[in-house]
Amino acid sequence: MRKVSTGFVYFFGALGGLLFGYDTGVISGAILFIQRQMHLGSWQQGWVVSAVLLGAILGAAIIGPSSDRYGRRKLLLVSAIIFFVGAIGSAFSPEFWTLIISRVVLGMAVGAASALIPTYLAELSPASKRGTVSSLFQLMVMTGIFLAYVTNYTFSGMYTGWRWMVGLAAVPAALLFLGGLILPESPRYLVKTGHSDAAREVLDTMNKHDTAAVDEELAQIHEQAKIKSGGWSELFGKMVRPSLVIGIGLAIFQQVMGCNTVLYYAPTIFTDVGFGVSAALIAHIGIGIFNVIVTAIAVAIMDKIDRRKMLNIGALGMGISLFIMSIAMKFSGGSFTAAVVCVIALTVYIAFFSATWGPVMWVMIGEVFPLNIRGLGNSFASVINWSANMVVSLTFPSLLDFFGTGSLFIGYGVLCFASIWFVQKKVFETRNRSLEEIEGTLREKAAEHEAAAAH
């Protein structure tokens, strides 16, 4: 392994999250200009926003499981190339269909990053730091979204500004590729492929040369690596079922609470309640800064508070914020005070999401699946997440036209409260437990069920 610092590894390991955030966030401002220049209707606008999500489903489905076979690092490099090609293609699109295809390509890299990076970071970090390290991915996502908002405002005065907005994603894509050339492979993957000495080197670096910790972790990894790589039958088998339920449930709830409709369409919402385009984009930048700060706080406390508690507090805060926002929109009559209340409620909603459901969902799907199907399990949960994201985002403009903002956000608020029931009933705690301990618990529970069934 090349001598690199843990900070370098964590930064470049999570950098795909910045591209993920930038490419999904930039369209929120760009769509205001694309819509006018390409004369798009409601459904076409929905497709320009959602094309990335269609690509993300494909990327998570194809590239995620491949990481079990070819390694996390190699696939990260492939993702960087796809990011670059998609960004350049989007910037030079002459008409609607070319833009859609380029956004689908871009989405494949976004989906691949979402399936690869939480797994890669979870496998590299010690148990005591895993929540913090894995949530760096979400911090990068939020930083990417913030940079997208700044870019949107910077180029909003240019007729072809939207091309610069979407095209600038090529810069961090090139950086990710260069950094990826130096990154180490996951120690779990190295042990699985018979490279124990290389795995020891990586673990030694990541554990700051704590020999006892390295020996213990390596022994646990060797034990788990003896289990043959699994496939779909293992993923849907009895042992993995509790993890699968967590992965699917968290992935769906994270989206149906309306988080990405708010992130993608915030400028549209602001213009609907009376802000001009320029004011809407400035307000968006303010939300972006707040978002990054709140996510940074979440990263700092991730290993100090139980994951389940964070999810429940987040859902409660988000639900209440959406109700307040809905009431302000429904009974405002276009007043300035109601518009301000709406913006504050929307900002508080995003803060709760960024501190809880945003990072915790990705951290947990990187933790709960056993080693022999971790890439497949993470990929499957990511596909579910992106599919839910696409359905919510694609239907949002039409539902907005039909119900109006007031009624629509009440529906999302009700789903926030429903998620609390799910977390209480179905989600087990993973904080401060090694990946091998989590897997051991799954095996013990499966053995207990089998024994109970036999009697």
- Whole-number Å distance between alpha carbons of 81 and 174: 8
Residue 402 tokens read as 């039909």
Burial of 38 from C-beta contacts in 10 A (0-12 / 13-18 / 19+): middle
Q: Which residues contact 429 (CB under 8 A, 6 or more apart)?
A: 306, 307, 308
Give the number of other Cβ atoms within 10 Å of residue 424's Cβ: 11
- Rounded-to-integer distance, Cα 128 and Cα 138, Å: 18
Residue 214 lies in a domain: no
Question: What 3-state class would DSSP assign to 449?
Answer: helix
Does 358 reside within a domain? yes
Under 8 Å CB-to-CB from 272, ≥6 apart: which residues?
A: 405
Residue 384 has what pLDDT?
92
Predicted confidence at residue 82, as pLDDT, reads 92
Quick one: DSSP state of residue 228? P
Distance, in Å, from the CA atom of 144 to the CA atom of 23, rounded to the nearest integer, reads 8
**What per-residue confidence (pLDDT) applies to 319?**
94
Specify which of 41-45, 128-132, 170-174, 392-396 reaches the highest per-range mean pLDDT: 170-174
Tally the domains of the chain: 1
Buried b (16+ CB within 10 A) or exposed e, 121-142: bbbbbbbebbbbbbbbbbbbbb
DSSP string across 94-150 = -SHHHHHHHHHHHHHHHHHHHHHHHHHHHHHS-GGGHHHHHTHHHHHHHHHHHHHHH
Tell me the per-residue pLDDT of 200-219, one tens digit each, with 9 for 90 and over. 888 888 777 778 878 887 88
CA–CA dist 144, 399 (Å, integer): 28
Tell me whether residue 213 is in a domain: no
**Residue the block writes with tokens 């429940």:** 312
Q: Give the whole-angstrom CA distance, residue 414 versus residue 319.
A: 7
- Nearby residues of 4 by Cβ (< 8 Å), 6 or more positions away: 182, 183, 184, 205
Examine residue 212 and state whether it is found in any structural domain, yes or no: no
Least confident piece of the model among 26-30, 176-180, 376-380: 26-30
Tell me what pLDDT residue 269 has.
66
- 393 CB-near residues (< 8 Å, 6+ apart): 46, 49, 50, 53, 260, 261, 264
Neighbours of 295 (CB within 10 A): 26
Q: Is residue 309 exposed (0-12), middle (13-18) or buried (19+ Cβ within 10 Å)?
A: middle
Q: Indicate the pLDDT class of residue 334, thresholds 50, 70 and 90.
A: low
The residue with greater pLDDT, 267 or 421, is 421
**pLDDT tens for residues 138-162?**
788 888 888 888 888 888 777 788 8
Q: Quote the crossing angle between the two packed helices 374-426 and 357-367, to the nearest 10°.
A: 120
Q: Is the dihedral of CA 188, 189, 194, 196 positive or negative?
A: negative
Q: What is the CATH number of the domain that holds 337?
A: 1.20.1250.20
Q: Residues 62-78: what's their mean pLDDT?
A: 80
> Where does the pLDDT of residue 320 fall: very low under 50, low under 70, confident under 90, or very high at 90 and above?
very high
Q: What's the predicted TM-score (pTM) here?
A: 0.77
| Secondary structure tally for the chain: helices H, strands E | 21, 0
86 vs 241: CA distance, rounded Å = 36
Is 210 contained in some domain?
no
CB of 115 closer than 8 Å to CB of 59: yes
Is 193 inside any structural domain?
no
Listed ranges 61-75, 82-96, 271-285, 345-359; the one with the highest mean pLDDT = 82-96
Tell me if 205 is assigned to some domain.
Answer: no
pLDDT above 60: residue 193: yes
pLDDT tens for residues 15-60?
888 887 888 778 877 877 888 888 777 778 778 877 888 888 888 8
Question: Tokens for 154?
Answer: 């910077």
Band (pLDDT 50/70/90 cuts) for residue 272 is low
Does residue 273 surpass a pLDDT of 70?
A: no
Residue 80 lies in a domain: yes
Domain that includes residue 252, residue range: 8-183+227-454
pLDDT higher than 70, residue 111: yes
Residue 412 phi, psi (nearest 5)? -65, -35
129: tokens are 């730091």
Average pLDDT in the 254-276 region? 72
pLDDT at residue 23 in the model: 80
pLDDT at residue 284, as a whole number: 73
H helix runs in 207-240, sequence order? 211-225, 232-235
Q: Are the CB atoms for 214 and 204 separated by under 8 Å?
A: yes
Compute the C-alpha angle 120/121/126, nearest 5°.
120
Q: Which residues contact 261 (CB under 8 A, 6 or more apart)?
A: 392, 393, 396, 412
**Whether 443 contacts 239, CB under 8 Å:** yes
Judge contact between 105 and 89, C-beta under 8 A.
yes
- Tell me 373's DSSP state: G
What mean pLDDT is predicted for residues 193-198? 83
Mean pLDDT of the 184-194 span: 82
Residue % of the chain over a pLDDT of 90: 14
Asked whether the predicted pLDDT for residue 125 surpasses 80, the reply is no
What the block records as the tokens of 262 is: 């708010």
What confidence score (pLDDT) does residue 347 get?
A: 82
By three-state DSSP, how is residue 446 classified?
helix
